[in-house]
Chain A
Amino acid sequence: MATWLPTGIQLSYLVAAALFILGIKKLGSPATARSGNLWAAVGMTLAIVATLLDQHIVGYGQLAVALAVGSGLGALMAYRVEMTAMPQMVGLLNGLGGGASALVALAEFWRASNLGTTLPPETLVSILLGVGIGGVTLTGSLIAFGKLQEWLTGAPVTFVGQRLMSVGLVVGFALGCAYLLVVEPTDLGVLLALTLVTLVFGVLFVIPVGGADMPVVVSLLNSLSGLAASATGFILANNMLVVAGALVGASGLILTQIMCKAMNRPLTNVLFGAFTVQQAATVAGVAGPQGSMKTVDSEETAMMLAYARSVVIVPGYGLAVAQAQHAVRELADQLEHRGVDVRYAIHPVAGRMPGHMNVLLAEANVPYPQLYDMEGINPEFERTDVALVIGANDVVNPAARHDKGSPIYGMPILDVDRAQRTVVIKRGAGRGYSGIENELFFKDKTLMLYGNARDVLTQLVSSVKQLD
């Protein structure tokens, strides 16, 4: 075997790492994002091919089978998934990545103990990190997937002694690690027991989180799956794995932060809020806005929209649930045809993961320059004739700006109440996810249009057409 080969492999890894960084950088603008993704994929292909050239590798046939099976399943999932199901898709893929890292760590341990070599403590620590982080990512992601897919209840699940059990698992894990590191570094039974502990911990970690907060968890688990990959990099002394894992770890962490900020809740509250929920409920029950709501029918709304100069559409989770993104684009087309200036205001946590609403609207062929983020659109509401809120609630509640007693006080919101008129399309007179009444609905300028978002929008489209 040529001596240049190991150097060549390492250099290929370096190129792959650079391609990952450049690819993520290019993902930063809609114009270059697609090629950025391609660059990262090329980097991945290069890394895999370089690894296959490694002279320690034997048995290419079975590797080819495993690579083909995984690729085939991945491609099938990618082409069949609905855009509305993107959060659970990302969650599931995440879990598989974490599981792979944990398996690699286990395999390395097994190989070493089979050869009778004692692993140096630093490698053992990396293996324990890989198994621990990877295991939690695997089962945590599967639970998150189940909740988002609604195979499991979306409500927070808590039981008596749950926190005690979690603490017990953490303590048990620490003791097991100490045993392996100090007493008997080749005990496979202990490592398998520790693996089991991390798997159970992953379940306990995610079940108390409510379905609406699941995107935060998915984003956090995304970060963890990166760290698990980094851990395998430390085990194998492979810096390219370390780089790739660190990049993913950093990105997941930033997105988690962004989502928590957009909901004005610290991460600890998202993760452990279920254990203190009674408190919040009593606070919410104390005071609420008084007065009556005014309703409006679709003909009148169509008239209002058609003769407006500017309309801002505020899509929320309800729009995604009703699969109404195509209907809303049709309405926007009709209005633009009549010379109305139509824009979309996207709250950072609209949809079920950050940026999810943008993907859903892009699928319905809404051009992305029409989508405005919160900072961009809020100053514009004062000059807006009609703000059309579709299936959004807490993110347009003005109480977040001024009511210090409100559970959502301080959360950044879209200032739809500053528009000349606000029309709210909503399934019924119920409360938002936070469980509080929305004072926007009681304002003089606000009109309520009840019904399923898709049905209502379809009616609006035909009513606007009839105005010609």
Chain B
Amino acid sequence: MSDALLTGLFVFVLASFAGFEVINKVPPTLHTPLMSGTNAISGISVVGALLAAGNHESTLATWLGMVAIVLAMINVVGGFLVTDRMLHMFRKKEA
């Protein structure tokens, strides 16, 4: 196994534990915004898409990357905005 893979596995396992710890405490009231908010974070593959599309070594890879950017950005922007819309509605008392 290469060093990069080993480091990656360490990071993956530790981040999973961090995720479990942080998310376990979220109250049921917020489960839907939590799901859509984390959903937006999963659009992080846009980073990979940018690297693939911005690399002019082969055209098909560029095109696949471009499509991936569009899909991932819908995921990211749609997810964060709709979460914000939901959370905006949660209030203690009417103003």
> Which residues of A does B touch, CB under 8 Å?
17, 20-21, 23-25, 27-30, 33-34, 36-38, 40-41, 44, 47-48, 51-52, 54, 56-60, 62-63, 66-67, 69-71, 73-75, 77-79, 81, 83, 86, 89-90, 93-94, 96-101, 103-104, 106-108, 110-111, 114-115, 120, 122, 218-219, 222, 225-226, 228-230, 232-252, 254-255, 258, 346, 348, 353-356, 358-359, 362-363, 365, 367-369, 371, 373
Q: Is the CB of B4 within 8 A of A20?
A: no
| Chain B interface residue bracket vs A | 35 or more
Residue of A nearest to B31 (CB): A355
Complex alpha-carbon distance, A99 and B49, angstroms: 11
Name A122's closest neighbour in chain B (CB-CB): B5
Report the minimum CB–CB distance from B3 to chain A (whole Å).
10
Contacts of A232 in B (CB 8 A): 45, 48
Bound: A51/B51 CA distance, A? 7
> CB-CB < 8 A to A120: which residues of B?
2
- Let me know if B51 and A56 touch, CB within 8 A: yes
Inter-subunit contact B35/A78 (CB<8 Å): no
How far, in whole Å, are A359 and B28 apart by their CA atoms in the complex? 11
Partner of A27, one of B19, B30, B47, B67: B30
Classify the interface of chain B: helix, strand, loop or mixed.
Answer: helix
- Which chain A residues border B1 with CB–CB below 8 Å? 122
Considering only residues 45-69 of chain B, those with a C-beta below 8 Å from chain A are 45-58, 60-62, 64-69
Task: Report whether over half of chain A's contact residues are helix, strand or loop; otherwise say mixed.
Answer: helix
Chain A, Cβ-Cβ closest to B4: A237
Tell me if B51 and A54 are in contact (CB < 8 A): yes
Q: How far is the CA of A237 from the CA of B1 in the complex (A)?
A: 13
Q: A37-B83, A100-B72, A238-B48 are in contact. List 5 more A-B contacts (CB 8 A).
A: A33-B30, A44-B40, A66-B73, A101-B68, A373-B28
Asked whether B36 lies within 8 Å of A250 as measured between CB atoms, the reply is no
Residues of A within 8 A of B26 (CB): 27-28
A358 to B87, CA, bound (A): 11
Contact of A75 among B13, B23, B78, B91 (CB under 8 A): B78
A244 to B92, CA, bound (A): 31
- CB B69 to nearest CB in A, in angstroms, measures 4
Q: Pick from A37, A70, A233: contact of B87, CB below 8 A.
A: A37
- Are A24's CB and B22's CB within 8 A? yes
Contact (A100, B46) CB under 8 Å given A353-B31, A367-B92, A373-B27: yes
Complex: how many Å from CA A233 to CA B89? 35
Bound complex: CA of A71 vs CA of B77, how far in Å? 6
Tell me if B61 and A111 are in contact (CB < 8 A).
yes
- Cα–Cα distance between A81 and B36 once the two chains are bound (Å): 13
The answer to whether A110 and B32 have CB atoms under 8 Å apart is no
> A255 near B44 (CB under 8 angstroms)?
no
Q: A25-B22, A234-B5 are in contact. Are A103 and B32 (CB under 8 A)?
A: no
Q: Offer 8 A-B interface pairs, CB within 8 angstroms, sorted by A.
A: A47-B47, A89-B82, A90-B79, A103-B49, A108-B48, A240-B44, A241-B45, A355-B30
Residue numbers in A under 8 Å from B88 (CB-CB): 34
Q: Contact at B42–A250, with CB atoms within 8 Å? A: no
Flag if A78 contacts B29 (CB, 8 Å). no
**B87 x A63 contact (CB < 8 A):** no
A33 touching B33 by the CB < 8 A rule?
yes
Complex contact B16–A249 (CB within 8 A): yes
Q: A37-B83, A100-B49, A241-B47 are in contact. Are A56 and B54 (CB under 8 A)?
A: yes
Please measure, in the bound complex, the distance between the C-alpha atom of A354 and the C-alpha atom of B25, giving whole angstroms: 15
Nearest-Cβ distance from residue A191 to partner chain B, whole angstroms: 12
Q: Which residues of B contact A110 (CB under 8 A)?
A: 58, 60-61, 64
